[in-house]
Amino acid sequence: MIKFKTGNLRVPQFQRPVYVVAAGTTDYRKRYPEYKLEELTMMAFKMLLEENDLKLDPMEVKGLINMACYGEFADHFQDQLLCEAKIHDYLGLEPLPNIGVKTGGATGGYTTLAGASMIASGYANCVLVMGWERMDEVDTRTGNFYISTAACKDFETRLSRMYAAYYAPMARRFSHIFKVKEEIRAAIAVKNRLYACSSPFAQNPGKHTVEEVLNGKMICDPLRVLECCVMSVGSACMLLCDEETAYKLSDTPMRLQIAGGTHTLRVADRRNMEVPLLPNEKPGQYDWMEKEYHEPYPGFQSFLASRFAAYMAYRMAGIYEPMEDLDLVELHDAFTISDLQTYGDIGLRPYGKEEDYITSGDAYFGGRCPSNLSGGLLGTMHAVGATGIFQGAECLWQLQNKYDKFHGEEKMWKRFGKEKPKDWKSLQIPKRRRALWISHAGVGSHVTCGILENPEEVKG
């Protein structure tokens, strides 16, 4: 049983507000031989400086940066130790300080958290937060083996050398306890891949059906091929500032709150505990889990790290009822099951009612709080170190009312050698108060919960 002491549950407090003003990205591809990694990061950096309607010239903006935080999942993939230094030099940012962050699939989120801390503490006024991954130097099976070394090398990796095999048992247990049909997971794959059709950055857009997903090739039962993300190459970045710098650069900066959580790398080692309650939950609310299902929390069905991150981030941002207070969420759908599990962890629904978020229509564009309009990891990208930053970028552009600018202009599609679909549909959300993104590492070992607030709509 994990027992918290008071210091463990202290809610993080930024010493001064942190803002995100601009973002940039490449498109994402399974293989990207056209460019070296540093050339791709320059592509994203230039988009950040030149295409975000900033009030200063790009080089003047660059002249404000005094810290960089870089996210990269695995040295295995880049085959380049100190890749951060190489990228930093290539962007022409030496001799400014930089740090590298590595927290698996949550690397992007934790890189953002590191950058935010730099601003909040006063160490920096303007921080470049950038992530990348180049997963195409090895074939897919070798890539899967590399990723599986992010499971315990002594007790887990050799058992499958495949990360889907660590999520699949969660999917089975989740369905067993909560009696969730496979169609729900399939609907998530269909939804996110469909939204990717509106994105020029997307790697795997597609108009699929639930039947197609369920009839797809089995990877690790019950997870089918369309329920799993794929190897990806690309880079994304955001620019974080203090309040004064933010308004010097932009009329629409978005305020950032972000918190993290963790859990054991081996799911095997997850011990029982009481559910840490979100602001809208009541003591005793989850007693039924133990009584009816003899299923203590968190078991294999819930991500304590996501719950812990949301527990903190909601209190930082003053969120009481997530479904009412949020207008968009971008979740970590590396697998359909990780998306589904997260609905309960972050309180979009109470634990045990996760599927209702999909069946009610709330999760769809036009619903109460849509999810993964970016196309998510299934449809758009999972160049791992970039992912938690790309999700933040999509949240930023949505709140800034710039979804169409970055996704709908012909030139953006042409830049990446694509044709804008004739039936392209805008996914710009109408209400633009708050957007949340979850950055999540293997089997929920590290998670961040980032929340962007529109200062015009939400008081600080």
Partner 1 sequence: MMKKKLAKRPVKKTVKARKPAPKKKPVARPKPARFKIAPKPGVVKFTGVPMRVEKTDPAMVIEWPRTIVHHHTYGLLSPFFEGLKQGVLRATRCSGKDCDQGFWLPPRADCPDCHERMKWVELKNPVIGEIFTFTHVEYPGHGIEISYPYYQIDVRIPGAATTMKGYLVRGEARIGMKVKAAFRTRGSSNTILDLYWEPAE
Q: According to the binding rule CB under 8 A, does residue 23 interact with partner 1?
A: no
Binder among 188, 202, 267, 384 for partner 1 (CB under 8 A)? 267
CB of 417 to partner 1, least distance (A): 10
Question: Of the ranges 115-123, 212-220, 251-259, 308-316, which one interacts with partner 1 (CB under 8 A)?
Answer: 212-220
Positions in 145-164 near partner 1 (CB under 8 A) = 145, 147-148, 152-156, 158-162, 164
Tell me the C-alpha distance between 384 and 158, whole Å.
22
Question: Of the ranges 112-120, 214-222, 338-346, 445-453, which one interacts with partner 1 (CB under 8 A)?
Answer: 214-222
Judged by CB under 8 A, how many residues of this single chain contact partner 1?
A: 46
Of 200, 190, 202, nearest to 363 by C-alpha is 190
Instruction: Give whichever of 213 and 395 is closer to partner 1, judged by the CB atom.
Output: 213
Residues paired with 255 in a beta bridge: 19, 453
Give the contact letters, 106-145, x = binds to partner 1 (CB under 8 A), - = no.
Answer: -------------------------------x-x-xx-xx
Long-range CB contacts for residues 425-430, cutoff 8 Å, separation at least 24: 425/197, 425/198, 426/198, 427/195, 427/198, 427/365, 427/370, 427/373, 427/403, 428/398, 428/401, 428/403, 428/404, 429/327, 429/328, 429/365, 429/370, 429/373, 429/398, 429/403
CB of 38 to partner 1, least distance (A): 14
Three-state secondary-structure class, residue 407:
helix
Tell me the C-alpha distance between 20 and 240, whole Å.
5
Instruction: Give whichever of 35 and 424 is closer to partner 1, judged by the CB atom.
Output: 35
Three-state secondary-structure class, residue 183:
helix
In the numeric block, which tokens belong to residue 169? 């048992």
Instruction: Give whichever of 62 and 134 is closer to partner 1, judged by the CB atom.
Output: 134
CB of 155 to partner 1, least distance (A): 4
Instruction: Give whichever of 33 and 284 is closer to partner 1, judged by the CB atom.
Output: 33
CB of 290 to partner 1, least distance (A): 16
CB of 216 to partner 1, least distance (A): 12
Positions in 30-69 near partner 1 (CB under 8 A) = 33-35
Give the contact letters, 223-262, x = binds to partner 1 (CB under 8 A), - = no.
Answer: x---------------------------------------
Cβ–Cβ under 8 Å, residues 35 and 97: no
In the numeric block, which tokens belong to residue 384? 């791992």
CB of 177 to partner 1, least distance (A): 10
Instruction: Give whichever of 68 and 135 is closer to partner 1, judged by the CB atom.
Output: 135
Cβ–Cβ under 8 Å, residues 163 and 442: yes
Q: According to the binding rule CB under 8 A, does residue 221 interact with partner 1?
A: yes
* Helices (H), ranges, 179-209: 182-195
Strands of 98-101's sheet in order across: 98-101, 67-72, 126-134, 233-241, 19-25, 254-262, 446-453, 434-440, 328-330
Cβ–Cβ under 8 Å, residues 127 and 238: no
Positions in 163-182 near partner 1 (CB under 8 A) = 164-165, 168-173, 176
Tell me the C-alpha distance between 185 and 183, whole Å.
6
Binder among 11, 89, 218, 431 for partner 1 (CB under 8 A)? 218
Angle at 312 between CA 227 and CA 111, to 5 degrees: 65
Q: According to the binding rule CB under 8 A, does residue 313 interact with partner 1?
A: no
Which residue ranges make up the site for partner 1 (CB under 8 A)? 1, 33-35, 79, 137, 139, 141-142, 144-145, 147-148, 152-156, 158-162, 164-165, 168-173, 176, 217-223, 266-271, 300
